[in-house]
């Protein structure tokens, strides 16, 4: 049986560190945070969260900060390495050892895969991975699951398509692992060059049915949840490769004629051109709802890790 005490002081580095029961527990606590997101609370009064962002961010950083403020805590941090002593040559290890003297929890985004795990080894306070290169983005996956449960009632039984840059999108990697703990059919749709990482496919294949496609047309009528990501241009080692896939997929109203009436479309945002803005005003579009759900989900994580949730 999972209990709140299982999360106290815990790092959140990879979605693979969590069992299905633990994830379901977090999603339940997020539900309990909904009223507190409206009224505010002093659950984390006196606690300080540090956001160390070495890469651009809008939603992840602002929603962690919003979550902390709504629970009565405070926030310090920086939103680009140019503003920190990293520019003077300070190491990530030293940065973390300094910041833990100020804050009870560290939220870290970094371009290097493995950076969050590395930081957690040095820090005596919990570290939350807010994106580690192309590798993982576990809190985004949790808010994606929370959105699916809220919109569809449950995750089991659904056919879920992950579409776009399956190679470099860290949101996709964490979400694919998380979904493989449920009874779902997964359809991966991408240009050939951006197929899902082999090691992830091998890992999840034994647990769930997995299909790979290069186009959405044939499979769209079966899909309950369509999760779209932008091409992660900044992660391409060779810009000529990016040029080959730029603009190669796009969801618009014409394509959606073949969709189930109750299809939901999710996107971690930012969007570039892969979902046409004309889709925004249809009942399919849930990506702005996802943003709102990110706040309650992160409230739940902060409250759990900082020991504010009693059994």
Please say if 271 is a catalytic residue: no
Q: Would the CA dihedral through 127, 130, 134, 135 be positive or negative? A: positive
- What is the number of other CB atoms lying within 10 angstroms of the CB of residue 242? 18
Among 229, 249, 259, 287, binds ligand NCD (CB under 6 A): 229
Whether the CB-CB separation of 27 and 301 falls below 8 Å is answered with no
The distance of closest approach from Cβ of residue 221 to ligand NCD in the complex, given in angstroms and rounded to an integer, is 27
Calculate ∠ Cα 145-223-180, nearest 5°.
40
Instruction: State the number of binding residues for ligand NCD (CB under 6 A).
Output: 13
Dist CA 42 CA 50 (whole Å):
18
Q: Which stretch binds ligand NCD (CB under 6 A): 24-32, 35-43, 226-234, 238-246?
A: 226-234
Instruction: Report the residue number, 47 or 137, with the smaller CB distance to ligand NCD.
Output: 137
Q: At which residue do the structure tokens 């997101």 appear?
A: 37
Please say if 173 is a catalytic residue: no
Dist CA 115 CA 47 (whole Å):
24
3-state secondary structure 38-86: HHCCCCCCCCEEEEEECCCCCHHHHHHHHHHHHCCCEEEEECCHHHCHH
Instruction: Report the residue number, 180 or 232, with the smaller CB distance to ligand NCD.
Output: 232
- What is the number of other CB atoms lying within 10 angstroms of the CB of residue 117? 17
The distance of closest approach from Cβ of residue 20 to ligand NCD in the complex, given in angstroms and rounded to an integer, is 23
230 binds ligand NCD (CB under 6 A): yes
Please say if 298 is a catalytic residue: no
Please say if 95 is a catalytic residue: no
59 binds ligand NCD (CB under 6 A): yes
60 binds ligand NCD (CB under 6 A): yes
132 binds ligand NCD (CB under 6 A): no
Please say if 117 is a catalytic residue: no
Calculate ∠ Cα 97-77-99, nearest 5°.
15
Instruction: Report the residue number, 233 or 260, with the smaller CB distance to ligand NCD.
Output: 233
The distance of closest approach from Cβ of residue 232 to ligand NCD in the complex, given in angstroms and rounded to an integer, is 6
The distance of closest approach from Cβ of residue 270 to ligand NCD in the complex, given in angstroms and rounded to an integer, is 6
Going by C-alpha positions, the residue among 275, 33, 293, 283 that lies closest to residue 143 is 293
The distance of closest approach from Cβ of residue 143 to ligand NCD in the complex, given in angstroms and rounded to an integer, is 9
84 binds ligand NCD (CB under 6 A): no
Question: Kind and range of the H or E element at 173?
Answer: helix 170-179
Q: Which two tokens stand for residue 161?
A: 């398509």
Among 95, 268, 279, 304, binds ligand NCD (CB under 6 A): 268
298 binds ligand NCD (CB under 6 A): no
Q: Which stretch binds ligand NCD (CB under 6 A): 27-35, 192-200, 205-213, 262-270?
A: 262-270
147 binds ligand NCD (CB under 6 A): no
Among 51, 84, 140, 180, binds ligand NCD (CB under 6 A): 140
Q: Which two tokens stand for residue 77?
A: 């941090």
Residues 6+ apart with CB under 8 A from 86: 54, 92, 95
51 binds ligand NCD (CB under 6 A): no
The distance of closest approach from Cβ of residue 137 to ligand NCD in the complex, given in angstroms and rounded to an integer, is 5
Hey, which residues are catalytic here? 59-60, 88, 109, 137
């Amino acid at each position: 049986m999972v209990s709140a005490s299982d999360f106290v002081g815990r790092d959140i580095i990879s979605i693979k560190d969590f069992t299905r029961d633990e994830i379901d527990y977090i999603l339940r606590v997020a539900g309990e945070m909904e009223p507190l997101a409206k009224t505010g609370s002093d659950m984390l009064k006196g606690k300080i969260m540090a956001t160390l962002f070495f890469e651009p961010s809008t939603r992840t950083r602002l929603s962690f900060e919003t979550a902390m403020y709504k629970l009565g805590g405070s926030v310090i941090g920086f939103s680009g390495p140019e503003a920190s002593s990293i520019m003077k040559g300070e190491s990530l290890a030293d940065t973390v050892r300094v910041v833990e003297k100020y804050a009870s929890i560290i939220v870290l985004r970094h371009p290097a895969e493995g950076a969050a795990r590395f930081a957690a080894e040095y820090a005596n306070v919990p570290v939350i991975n807010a994106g580690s290169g192309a590798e993982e983005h576990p809190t985004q996956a949790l808010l994606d699951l929370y959105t699916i449960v809220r919109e569809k009632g449950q995750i089991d039984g659904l056919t879920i398509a992950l579409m776009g840059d399956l190679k470099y999108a860290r949101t996709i990697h964490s979400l694919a692992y998380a979904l493989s703990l449920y009874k779902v059919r997964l359809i991966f749709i991408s240009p050939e060059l951006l197929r899902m990482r082999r090691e992830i496919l091998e890992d999840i294949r034994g647990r769930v049915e997995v299909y790979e496609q290069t186009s959405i047309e044939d499979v769209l009528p079966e899909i309950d949840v369509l999760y779209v990501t932008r091409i992660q241009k900044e992660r391409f080692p060779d810009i000529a490769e990016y040029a080959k896939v730029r603009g190669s997929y796009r969801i618009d109203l014409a394509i959606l004629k073949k969709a189930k009436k109750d299809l939901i479309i999710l996107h971690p945002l930012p969007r570039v051109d892969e979902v046409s803005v004309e889709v925004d005003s249809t009942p399919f579009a849930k990506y702005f709802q996802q943003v709102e759900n990110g706040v309650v989900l992160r409230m739940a994580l902060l409250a759990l890790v900082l020991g504010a949730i009693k059994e």
